Amino acid sequence: MSAPLHTIIIYAKDPKKSAEFYRRFFGFETTGEMLEGLIELRSKSGAGLLIHPAAKGVTLGQVGVKLMFDVEDIESFKEVSAAYGLVFGATHQANGYAFANAKDPDKNSIAISSRAFRKR
């Protein structure tokens, strides 16, 4: 049996702000419209996102899930992102790849990683 990951739901205090964040920094396509209580973001090469309004009592920013985006040149991506207001933390070296962490507008963990591009 196979069940490929197709969509990730992100709860957000300000869904429009979060949708714009993922559109601007990670290239998702969206109309930004709230339809059926969700804003849909499409990816050209991976899973899509649905931004869902968080209930007032929901605590956001826990570390239960981290979204990792494939980026070949970590330092260049960090420089461009910083110019637009998204600052990543230190670049960490791992087994043949690098990664850096940041937070989205709702303090959800995100990362950029060159792991998908490492030579084996």
- Is 112 contained in some domain? yes
Per the domain annotation, does 13 fall within a domain? yes
For residue 84, being part of any structural domain is answered with yes
Answer whether residue 46 shows pLDDT above 90: no
Structure token pair of residue 24: 């601007």
We report the CATH number of the domain holding residue 113 as 3.10.180.10
- Whether residue 1 is contained in a domain is answered as no
What integer pLDDT is reported at residue 5 of this predicted model?
Answer: 72
Structural domains in the chain (count): 1
Under 8 Å between Cβ of 37 and 79: no
Residue 23 lies in a domain: yes
pLDDT at 4: 67
* Domain presence at residue 17: yes
User: Taking a C-beta distance cutoff of 8 angstroms, is the pair 97, 71 a contact?
Assistant: no
Q: Which domain holds residue 38?
A: 7-117
pLDDT tens digits, one per residue of 3-44: 567 889 888 889 999 999 999 999 999 999 998 889 999 998
Q: Considering the domain boundaries, does residue 97 fall inside one?
A: yes
If you count them, how many residues does the chain have? 120
